Structure 1
Amino acid sequence: MVSVDVCLLFFFMVFLDGHSKVSCNCNSSSSQDQSGKIYHLVNDTKNWTDAKSYCMNNYKDLAIIYDQRDWGEALAAVRSSANEVWIGLHNETQWMWSNGENATFFHWEPSYENKSGYDCVSSFSGKWRSDNCLLKQSYMCQIVTNTSGIMKKTFVYKNMSTMWDGAYNACTNISGDLAVITTMDEQNMFINTAPNNTSVWIGLRRNIWRWSSGKLPKCIPGDDPNNRKSCIKIKDKIYLTPDNCSTSSMFLCYSVTTNGTAQFTNSNVNATVPPPTSSTFKGTHSYNLTFINQTKNWTEALQYCWKNHKTLVHIVNDTVQDYVVQMLQNEVYPNGVWIGLERNMMFMCAPWLWTGGPYVHFSNWSSTFPVDPISQFCGKIIGNKTNWLDAYCGEELPFICQSKKIKQLLISIATTY
């Protein structure tokens, strides 16, 4: 399994009922989302840099994917291909500002520029230090205003301790950014705002995942410890995987239109699978729950439920929880049973979700939860009371499918096991 520091798990909402196909022309297949992006699968192979140049010359750029709708449309565009496909997420190894600007001005404290493994920057008494991104320190935001065409930058000190990515998110949440210092005048303004003898995060970082547009993901993913696989592909139509940027692959571009109407051609695909050993519990007109007494990893279980039912079970309230307890009372499952709980592997700040995107409001977590928040991103139920627990997604367990009709299906992007 690829290290979880570089494994990427996103939750992609696809507005489908069944399986979707997209129309194709001779060179590419396209999918358009309702916010105006159109994704184009280019049936040619290039390295990541050349693919980006091709997209910029012929479309807008390599695919940038900011939200669940984007993910659904991007995946619809690549569904017709069995090949690996570049997208616009890559790792920047050089010092860059969090707003996407290249760093040309520096104010390092001597010997603090290139400390190995220290990829974020703080300022201490006006001098910059490369620091461990996981340290909790205060931070400096910047707010940029435009008054009658005159741009004004204001630094705002925040006396709250957080890691670098927490500081970045806090500043962007107030429509700002972490402090970007590009001239000596700005450095002096920063010094006049920051307290003395205090470490303060600024917006400079290296070895960071970034979209080809320069924008950072909302949460900051981990870095490739070998610093070799620095560009991201869609693999097997649903997986995201890092690879060497010099590898030649097909790629996904995007363009922008002001007329954002999504168009799909739907077709139903009937999967042929051996009949499982299962028990079905029909306790309500809304849910048709089926216990599948076959052992699969979480991703395989989800794919099985897609093909034969609708999805892994969502336990959204006490009623469904009670149904699950009754269903399993005569079953033997010593290591647990998969349910439709998952968490974003790429981002440590990601919440638990049900497949399809709903947040977890009702919960029945075990007293031992979480077992391993660093490397366990899928949910199972255990014990006679069917408490919930986080689990390693590659574990092989029986599972429960539900056959409720849902138009919002999750496509889960996971690493290979």
Structure 2
Amino acid sequence: MAQTQYFPLLLIALCSISECVQRQYHFINEEKEWAEAQRYCREKYTDLATVDNMNDMIQLNKSVNVNVNDGVWIGLQGTNDSNWHWSSGDPVFFVNWASGQPAGSNNCTVMTNGKWFVGSCSNTWTFICKMSGGLVFVNQTMNWRDAQSYCRQNHIDLVSVRNQNESQQLEKFINDSHKFGSEVWIGLFSDPWQWSDKSNSSFRYWNAEKAKAPDDKHCGVVEMSNQGQWSDYLCSVRWQLPFVCHEDKLIVVQQNLSWSEALRYCRQNHVDLVSVKSVEMQYKVMNVVKLASTEAVWLGLRHSCALGIWFWVSGETVCYQYWAPGNGTSEEDCEPTVRSGAVQSGGNQTWISRPETDQLNFICTNY
């Protein structure tokens, strides 16, 4: 039995606990090579399926409503370059590498004395899981992928570190657990895979016994006969498989309109300008805003000069916030025009206040 120790964390309060960010999945029971399946999904829906988290994985599995022998294509494609990701899907905004690190590629990250080092994913160390409300130190040695599976089955995921404050909290937690100087796995890993829709999703659900080829000739497959875990097949040659497409609920419109014109467009053609009421929706916006052709993109965020508050067009006041420094104050300059909210398409993709007459791309929602 693994020994655990717990540590409370301050969590971001969300305005709406009912909001759930999900893609809609469509199973296509036609056998095609990966590139043909990709072309089909882009014509009929948004793209080949992207998976952000375990909840998405469950919904994707449910969409496959027939028996499948070999598996189904999803939108994961190998490349010849590796990038760093958090197992939990959090964006990589902060790193705390030791001097000379990271060294190597296609590896996992171990933390010791507050610094991060690249380690072979097959090495065995103790590890730290993220749980609802805190952290769990698991005093049991496993390789990185087994540690990831343990955390996902028993808690949430391997721990991720989003900023300097969380890094200091994690170091203190390890020291308080009397494990100073010991090596522990954290959730940062490097791999050569990318999603067809260019999403930055770092969720992976590999079958630990299957190879993960680090080149551009292999694509991802969900093995329905193996609890929906993933394997990699050659994208072409003899592999023709059914596949799963996804349909996004957020749409980046690459037209340059004022805020009021963008609002009218979204309400006439979709549902509304997007409201970002949770960190989960912010991540979703981060995934799609990179498709924009302007440096900022309109959100459904509006300032009331009469009340001195910001509010969403869906009717809620702003609780969850992701403003850039100096933006989003209650005392906005309402002359010569009212201010509205936009998200930056580059950098940390934070929110900024802009005159409503600015001509920007915008994000519509189908929620």
Which category of TM-score, normalised to the shorter sequence, fits these structures?
A: 0.3 to 0.5
TM-score with structure 1 setting the length: 0.39
Provide TM-score, normalisation by structure 2: 0.44
Larger radius of gyration: 1
